[in-house]
Amino acid sequence: MAELLTTQGLTKRFRGLVANENIDFHIDVGEVRCVIGPNGAGKTTFLSMLSGHQSPSAGCITYNGQDITALSVVERARIGIGRKFQTPTVFDNLTVYENIELSVLRVEADSSARTRKIDMVLDAVRLVDLRSTPARELSHGQRQWLEVGLLLGNESRLLLLDEPTAGMTNDETAATGRLIRNLADERGLTIIIIEHDIHFIRDLRSPVTVLHLGKILMEGSFEEVASDPTVRSVYLGADL
Ligand SMILES: Nc1ncnc2c1ncn2[C@@H]1O[C@H](COP(=O)(O)OP(=O)(O)O)[C@@H](O)[C@H]1O
Ligand SMILES: [Mg+2]
């Protein structure tokens, strides 16, 4: 598969603290990758450097063969890097359809192409039946899917998701796993997910990168990572 994103020596220092140190990471087109690690391991900082919300102290980021290290958040969004935050970006009083329409409007001027695109996004995030529902009436999980839909509407090709299942019911978490798999397998999207939910990670069947103290401790399948003694010891007590 073609490589989509690579980091080399990616490092972030906050005064004395090294939040990310010398991270060499790569991900292929259409791959789903889970990033795990204890609190304070540097997961969010890493995602913030990929999205452009934090600039690295050292190292570089290549996306589609282009050095994007110096690009802003907006410039990165234009070339397909989309980040979902915990804080909501949906408009409560607009319907699901209208919310997606707003994000598609930014990239699609032709109205019939726009309609097709909105329908595609509704289908991709499983919200077809709720198209006329105001966003304020959505469940927590449905709202998160709508936010993913906004990224798809914007033509994001690399989705950066920071704990997308936080606060979801078990059913919503399972549905989110299927949705993410489908976006990668059927639509060729590339997805980096920070997650804590060990069952969710296991069921995704995707490679896992373990961060610890700002460095990559290990990469491998869920089974490899979960049975590694060093990984288990940094999670002390967690049910890996
Ligand atoms: N803006 C910031 N200023 C200073 N320190 C920060 C900042 N953001 C994160 N840190 C520190 O960097 C380390 C990694 O944080 P973070 O990336 O949020 O970890 P994680 O997401 O894995 O819990 C922590 O020690 C945190 O306190
Ligand atoms: Mg975090």
**Model confidence pLDDT, tens digit, residues 203-216:** 999 999 999 999 99
Does the C-beta of 45 come closer than 6 Å to ligand 1? yes
Q: Which long-range contacts (CB under 8 A, 24 or more apart) does 13-18 make?
A: 13/57, 18/214
- Cα atoms found within 13 Å of the Cα of residue 193, Cβ hemisphere only: 31
Is the pLDDT confidence value at 201 over 70? Answer: yes
| Separation CA 95–CA 110 (nearest Å) | 21
The number of the ligand nearest the C-alpha atom of 41 reads 1
Does the C-beta of 39 come closer than 6 Å to ligand 1? yes
Q: Could you identify the atom of ligand 1 that is nearest to the CA of residue 194?
A: 21
Quote the percentage of the chain above a pLDDT of 70. Answer: 97
Can you list the domains of the chain with their CATH numbers? 1-80+157-240 (3.40.50.300), 88-156 (no CATH)
Is pTM beyond 0.85? Reply is yes
Note the pLDDT of residue 36: 95
C-alpha 200 to ligand 2 mean position (Å):
17
Please report which confidence band the pLDDT of residue 89 belongs to, taking 50, 70 and 90 as the band edges.
confident
Residue of the CA atom closest to atom 26 of ligand 1: 40
Does the C-beta of 55 come closer than 6 Å to ligand 1? no
Identity of residue 161: L
Question: Tens of pLDDT along 167-200?
Answer: 999 999 999 999 999 999 999 999 999 998 889 9
